[in-house]
Amino acid sequence: MARRLAALHVLLCLAEAKQMQRAAAVTKITPDSITAKTATSITFTGAADGDKVEFALDCTKVSTPGSTVAEGVAKITVEDEAEKLSLCLQEAGKNEVVAQNGVALAVVPPTDTGAIIGIAPTTITQGEATTISIKGAGPESKAIFIPAQEDCRQAIPTVSLDASGKGLFTISSAGGAYKLCYRAPGGSDSVEQNPDTGAISLQVIQATSTREDQVTSISPTVITSNVATTIAVIGAKSGDKASFVNSETSSCDQVTPEKDVGAGHASFTVSGAGTYVLCYTVKGASDSVQQKGISLTVKPPGVAQNMLGRWTSKNGNADCSGLSQVPYCSAAGVGECERSFTVMSGIGYKCFWHTGVWPPMCDVDMSTDERGMICQSNSCGGSPAMCW
């Protein structure tokens, strides 16, 4: 009898251990609070594709969970409000439905259309970061302003509001009337605010002039004449345009910026060596304003002072069998940069990815002899048998 009891005890312990192992399959959900009657995508950390999930007060009453996990995510809709619902999990290929220990979901009421009673200020300038006080907002609630003709149900509130209902907003799109889409604390919906006093409206004034400090920096600041180079423009907004002009022969009031830098960078080809200034126009403006403290040095192609040491150090031993010659490094593609080289005035340079700029560019380092270990045939590279 004692042996049977001991064996039974072992089986019960194994079953309990197995149950605990299953219960720990999902360790976290994001978000852990949603809005009732609102379909919400929830991430299930630890879940596998094909697992079925459902939230309930009692998982023993769930026979087959109603939602399936794909790539760690499932769309969940809960009809009723609840402070704490258990996660019921049915792992793919299994019949058991197991409550996941330590994982719970809160379900809050839908956001009221009259939750917000006003905003201040009611007018802001396009592209300028502005702190807006949203009266009636709860702490950790979220908001977004969208053009008046759009639908809040298609918008995702992204600006978190502090305990006093304030948030920092930047609207870079076109000027005009904007509506407020609001999400109550812990919610997952997006509701247009129309209190009894009238719909909440924000007027965005189209920028009509460009500031001298619109752009804070550029990268790189040195390029080669007639070589297409991607230049990052820090401070650029959607619809902004830029041009570079030689500071000795021209000025910004003589040109109309035409290169779109709304993505934060653009490819520029500048002809002629010298120092160039940046002429800039923000979206909606018709001016051309020189950016204070911004300059671009354009070098002529050919031998530079820091290349002269190469003439006495042609002792490289690079394996050029996998390298191909390109006119200049920026012409090499993503998959070719580190397998290509360029020759300048008889000196070979290996191309490499320069990650110090955005976007990263295929560049050449002329400051060290290591970059000069390139094979050459006659005078201009190509034969693996003749390395220097």
Q: Report the pLDDT value the prediction gives residue 4, as an integer from 0 to 100.
A: 57
Specify the CATH number for the domain of residue 278.
2.60.40
DSSP labels for 108-124? EPPPPTTS--EEE-SEE
Which of 276, 299, 322 is the C-terminal boundary of a domain? 299
* Model pLDDT for residues 144-165, shown as the tens digit of each residue: 999 999 999 999 999 999 999 9
Query: What pLDDT does residue 67 have?
Result: 97
**Nearest Cα to Cα of residue 335 among 343, 348, 346, 326:** 326
Q: Is the peptide bond before 220 cis (omega within 30 degrees of 0)?
A: yes
Q: How far apart are CA 16 and CA 218, in angstroms?
A: 62
> At 371, is the pLDDT very low, low, confident or very high (cuts 50, 70, 90)?
very low
Alpha-carbon gap, residue 32 to 104, rounded angstroms: 7
Q: Which residue has the tokens 């402070």?
A: 83
Any domain includes 14: no
Contact 387, 375 (CB under 8 A): yes
For residue 9, being part of any structural domain is answered with: no
CA distance 22 to 103: 13
Number of H helices, E strands in the chain: 1, 29
CB 210 within 8 A of CB 287: yes
Q: Which residues pair with 257 in a beta bridge?
A: none
Any domain includes 113: no
Q: Quick check: 279 and 252 in contact, CB under 8 A?
A: yes
Q: Is residue 212 part of a domain?
A: no
Residue 387 placed within a domain: no
242 & 277 share domain: yes
Query: What pLDDT is attached to residue 85?
Result: 97
Distance, CA of 97 to CA of 156 (rounded, Å): 33
Does residue 8 form part of some domain?
A: no
Give the DSSP letter of residue 375.
B
For residue 19, pLDDT beyond 70: no
Position 238 scores a pLDDT of: 84
> Is residue 385 in a domain?
no
State whether 25 and 55 are in the same domain.
Answer: yes
- The verdict on residue 380 lying in a domain is no
Domain end point (choices 141, 174, 205): 205
Are 134 and 168 members of one domain?
yes
pLDDT single digits (tens) 278-305:
999 998 888 999 999 999 999 987 544 4
Binned at pLDDT 50, 70 and 90, residue 90 comes out as very high
Domain that holds residue 71: 19-108
Of 53-62, 168-177, 324-333, the range with the lowest mean pLDDT is 324-333
Here the CATH number for the domain that contains residue 99 is 2.60.40.10
Q: How many CB atoms lie within 10 A of CB 269?
A: 12
Per the structure, the count of domains in the chain is 4
Q: Tokens 């379900």 identify what position?
A: 107
